[in-house]
Amino acid sequence: MAKLVYFAWVRERIGKAEEEIDIPAGVVTVRDLLNHLRTLGEEYEHALQYPEVIRVAIEQEHVDHSEALGNAREIGIFPPMTGG
């Protein structure tokens, strides 16, 4: 089980701020996870239809899409940042 946390328009489009999911066998990298989530329903597809713009953090640290999920406990999924 991993906790997924969503922010900004990713959160709004998916319709929840966080959820626990089982990561299926075969979902190894961040890219795999984003593609897997897109199969879960149209709200996920709407949020993640352009996965290349989506930013991901594992245990609250930025990671590339090629990063292995390993035993990640918390995976943050969000749009490019616009603070400051």
Binding other proteins by CB under 8 A: which of 5, 21, 27, 69? 5
Quote the tokens at residue 60. Answer: 């609250």
Residues with Cβ < 8 Å from 56, sequence gap 6 or more? 30, 33, 34, 62, 63, 65, 67, 75, 76, 77, 78
What does the alpha-carbon distance between residue 15 and residue 29 come to, in Å, rounded to a whole number?
Answer: 24
Residue closer to other proteins (CB basis): 71 or 82: 82
Tell me how many degrees the CA angle 46-59-8 measures, rounded to the nearest 5.
30
- C-beta of 22: minimal distance to other proteins in Å? 23
**Interface stretch with other proteins, choices 19-27, 29-37, 44-52, 54-62 (CB under 8 A):** 54-62
Site string for other proteins, 8-47 (x = CB under 8 A): xx--------------------------------------
Note the residues at the interface with other proteins (CB under 8 A). Answer: 5, 7-9, 57, 60-62, 76, 78-84
